[in-house]
Amino acid sequence: MEQTFIMIKPDGVQRGLIGEIICRFEKKGFTLKGLKMISVERSFAEKHYADLSSKPFFNGLVEYIVSGPVVAMIWEGKNVVLTGRKIIGATNPAAAESGTIRGDYAIDIGRNVIHGSDAVESAQKEIALWFPDGPVNWQSSVHPWIYE
């Protein structure tokens, strides 16, 4: 089953959006397979966003991610990477549809509340980086009520 890496950024934590964000993924029917609150080092944030290191906003992005604790999660389910991105909404909250997390709870691109992997391959890389011990091994007993 597909897995994605979701991270509630420091602004989402400070603004009390942890419960609301978890709720959206949980109610959709996805399964939580890893969860931790963590303050990351600069070098770790740089590694997570390594693909963006040449961008002019890279330093500000890293400063933002290390500015407070984040909530790191693994979510599992059919098409969870793509569907997770839909739940999150467009990178720039100004372009994010109402009903998405960024559309409902954010205004500026540099305070867009949440991260979600953009492809199955990046999800695998990000899960390995943030959860070196891997996901929690459990199966939801409501599985047959969500999948046919």
53 binds ligand DAT, rule: CB under 6 A: no
Q: 38-52 burial, b for 16+ CB within 10 Å, e for fewer?
A: eebeeebbbebbeee
One residue of 45, 61, 74, 81 binding ligand DAT per CB under 6 A: 61
Rounded to a whole number of angstroms, the distance between the first and last alpha carbons of the chain is 14
Amino acid at 54: S
Establish whether 115 is a catalytic residue. Answer: yes
48 binds ligand DAT, rule: CB under 6 A: no
Q: Which stretch binds Mg ion (CB under 5 A): 10-18, 37-45, 77-85, 118-126?
A: 118-126
110 binds, among ligand DAT, Mg ion, none (CB under 5 to 8 A by kind): ligand DAT
109 binds ligand DAT, rule: CB under 6 A: yes
- CA-nearest of 46, 33, 42, 36 to 80 is 33
Q: How far is the CB of 145 from ligand DAT (least distance, A)?
A: 31
What is the C-alpha separation between 5 and 84, in angstroms, rounded? 9
95 versus 146: smaller Cβ distance to ligand DAT: 95
State the catalytic residues. Answer: 115
